[in-house]
Chains A and B, each alone.
Chain A
Amino acid sequence: MPVSSYLALAAILFSVGLYGVLTKRNAVIVLFCIELMLNAVNINLVAFSKYGLYANQTGQVFTLFTMTVAAAEAAVGVAILLAIYRNRNTVNADRYNSMKG
């Protein structure tokens, strides 16, 4: 079944992204890793729209929506990162730790 190789690729990409979000210190890389996770979903959707149980165009339309939303999400993420950088002067996400308990 050709779809399984696409699914495997998407699963690997998703896991790499998740690993990066959880372990990376650089805040910019954390944002990239979130994009990786969302793009893994896109691969899944496009693969399913060609090889799914009921293959049709809807998956590609869905992908357009997720890409748009991912762009908006990245914009918001970078804006927040800029605001925090102005106050804290670092992109090291480990040091965003003023709240505890």
Chain B
Amino acid sequence: MEKYFLDYDWTVLAPELIIVAAAALLSIIDLFLKEKNDRHWLHWVAIVAVITAGVFVFRQWGGAPAEILLDTYRVDDFALTFKLILLAGTALVLLASYRDDGPKEARGEYTYLLLTALLGGMLLTSSADLITLFIGLELLSLSSYILAGIRKKRLASNEAAWKYVVLGSVSTAFILYGMSFVYGLAGTTHLYTAQQRLVEAYNGGYESFVLLSLFLMLLGFGFKVASAPFHMWAPDVYQGSPTPVTSFLAVVSKTAAFAFILRMLLSLYLFLVQTGPWTELVGPALLTLAAASMILGNMAALRQLRTKRLLAYSAIAQAGYMLVPVATLTGALMFESTVYYLMAYLFMTLGAFTVVMQVERDSGREGIEAFAGLSRRSPWMAAAMTVFLLSLAGIPITGGFFGKFYILFHSVTAEAYWIAAVMLATTVVSYFYYFGIIRMMYFRPAMDGTKVRISVTAGAVVLVSLAGTLLLGFFPQWLLDHLGNLDWIQGFQPIHGPVEQ
């Protein structure tokens, strides 16, 4: 049946269209504004757009899945859940950096590049076609490369952007190379048609090519989520980028990359679970990535004295924890534990980075000594930071604790005991460096007694993050039940049956 442009139900795409419109509008306004004009209000336009898109996503959440553009783009619970995390993360980053002195020379660009990066992430979570998936991935990556180097006069920012663009492009090339083999075996870029044809190809004597495509994509994915041994870029990029951008990379990019790999693995390669190679090859490979990230990330963080670098290594370790559910598919809480951890991670990481942003700007220092005596200078900020760090370390009554707990529970039900042991051991190691910052705040004398200035918007972000972290810590069951009621499986099945091409 011939379908015309206006026959599609475009309301399905409302959140994306809002973000596109806002990004286009902001880039045009930014062009016409004079150099000396105040650009702070552009932030509000972006924040309003993100929140409006969030409202639309929330209203679609839990409804029947829909597809648009010949099923290359689909809106299901899986995509909507990840989109909510991405939108919340971007809104908080925008809010936290509202009065930031950081990217002031390019404030307009900063605002709309964040929006285009967000749009890339949203495309990534929703696409059901290799081409759309690739375009979403690249939109996210290209915007983040520029964001990392947005302070063009600062050498560290330049270097961060350079390392990010080189290693990011290499990972893109690996993912694309893997996709080209999928296309070769399936003769289509449509994920759910390829799903069936890959099984046929696998049974028809092309096992090695199926596995090759999977491993090439896993390699590229390893770069994108900064899991060891593909993590080399992360510490430098996190340290060199302006702090708001670092928090964006840590939260939004990572969430989008996880959405990508889950969609990819579970729609294209799920048959490997039944035929065998999953338990022999793919599962162990993912578990090795996870264990290596936990061990390397936590060990390297131990000897870091720069706050952002320390948090970068901690983010590598966190990526390791988040890889455990997908590596042990057969457990009880696959999606719930991943999404729960991602939500807890969103709040605790953004909260911690916002506090770091304020403290760094106040002291002009990058080391953890900037935190000395914070409990006497700004007791509330120190208390909030303590909660975020406890949550990152996985201490009870915080979101991070239950996130880790569910992942542990999941891996034990999947009978992957050794990864649970590695997780527990490395968590204990991580206490040393998280408590190092807490010790600085409470037991070291302050260098000067003045209060750390914090803008109203950054304060609001800290409060929201604090509330989120504690709520997830006090009432974990509420979110878990809600996530359990969503229709996850629908995300990995075709809506109308296979499309003939």
B142→A81 contact, CB < 8 A:
no
Which single member of B145, B154, B156, B304 contacts A76 (CB below 8 Å)? B145
Q: Chain A 37-71, CB within 8 Å of chain B: the 1/0 string?
A: 11011001101100011111011011001100100
CB distance from B479 to the nearest CB of A (A): 37
Any chain A CB within 8 A of the CB of B161?
Answer: yes
Any chain B CB within 8 A of the CB of A16?
Answer: no
Tell me the bound Cα distance from A99 to B159 in angstroms.
Answer: 8
A98→B155 contact, CB < 8 A:
yes
Tell me the bound Cα distance from A90 to B166 in angstroms.
Answer: 17
Consensus secondary structure, chain A interface: helix
Chain A residues whose CB sits within 8 angstroms of the CB of B235 once the complex forms: 99, 101
Which single member of B166, B185, B189 contacts A53 (CB below 8 Å)? B185
A54→B181 contact, CB < 8 A:
no
Shortest Cβ distance from B304 into A: residue: A101
Tell me the bound Cα distance from A30 to B146 in angstroms.
Answer: 18
B162→A53 contact, CB < 8 A:
no
A41→B177 contact, CB < 8 A:
yes
Any chain A CB within 8 A of the CB of B165?
Answer: yes
Tell me the bound Cα distance from A54 to B412 in angstroms.
Answer: 42
Chain B residues whose CB sits within 8 angstroms of the CB of A10 once the complex forms: 180
Tell me the bound Cα distance from A79 to B142 in angstroms.
Answer: 12
Any chain A CB within 8 A of the CB of B15?
Answer: no
CB distance from B304 to the nearest CB of A (A): 6
Number of interface residues of A (CB under 8 A): 48
Shortest Cβ distance from A56 into B: residue: B187
Given the interface contacts A38-B176, A72-B142, A77-B165, does A84 sit within 8 Å of B158 by beta carbon? yes
Any chain A CB within 8 A of the CB of B239?
Answer: yes
Shortest Cβ distance from B501 into A: residue: A56
Any chain A CB within 8 A of the CB of B48?
Answer: no
Q: Chain B 298-311, CB within 8 Å of chain A: the 1/0 string?
A: 00000110100100
A99→B236 contact, CB < 8 A:
yes
B155→A21 contact, CB < 8 A:
no
A44→B180 contact, CB < 8 A:
yes
Q: Which one of B127-135, B248-256, B458-466 is at the A interface?
A: B127-135
Tell me the bound Cα distance from A72 to B187 in angstroms.
Answer: 27
Chain B residues whose CB sits within 8 angstroms of the CB of A44 once the complex forms: 177, 180-181, 184
A96→B130 contact, CB < 8 A:
no
B162→A84 contact, CB < 8 A:
yes
CB distance from A76 to the nearest CB of B (A): 5
Chain A residues whose CB sits within 8 angstroms of the CB of B187 once the complex forms: 48, 52-56, 58
Given the interface contacts A34-B169, A84-B158, does A76 sit within 8 Å of B146 by beta carbon? yes
Residues on B facing A (Cβ under 8 Å): 130-131, 134-135, 138, 142, 145-146, 149, 152-156, 158-163, 165-166, 169-170, 172-173, 176-177, 179-181, 183-189, 197, 201, 206, 235-236, 239-240, 303-304, 306, 309, 501
Q: List 14 A-B contacts (CB under 8 A).
A: A18-B173, A34-B169, A37-B177, A38-B172, A44-B181, A48-B184, A52-B187, A69-B138, A73-B172, A76-B142, A76-B145, A83-B149, A84-B158, A96-B162
Report, nearest first, the 9 A-B pairs whose CB atoms are least far apart.
Answer: A54-B187, A48-B184, A37-B173, A84-B158, A44-B180, A41-B176, A34-B169, A52-B184, A80-B161
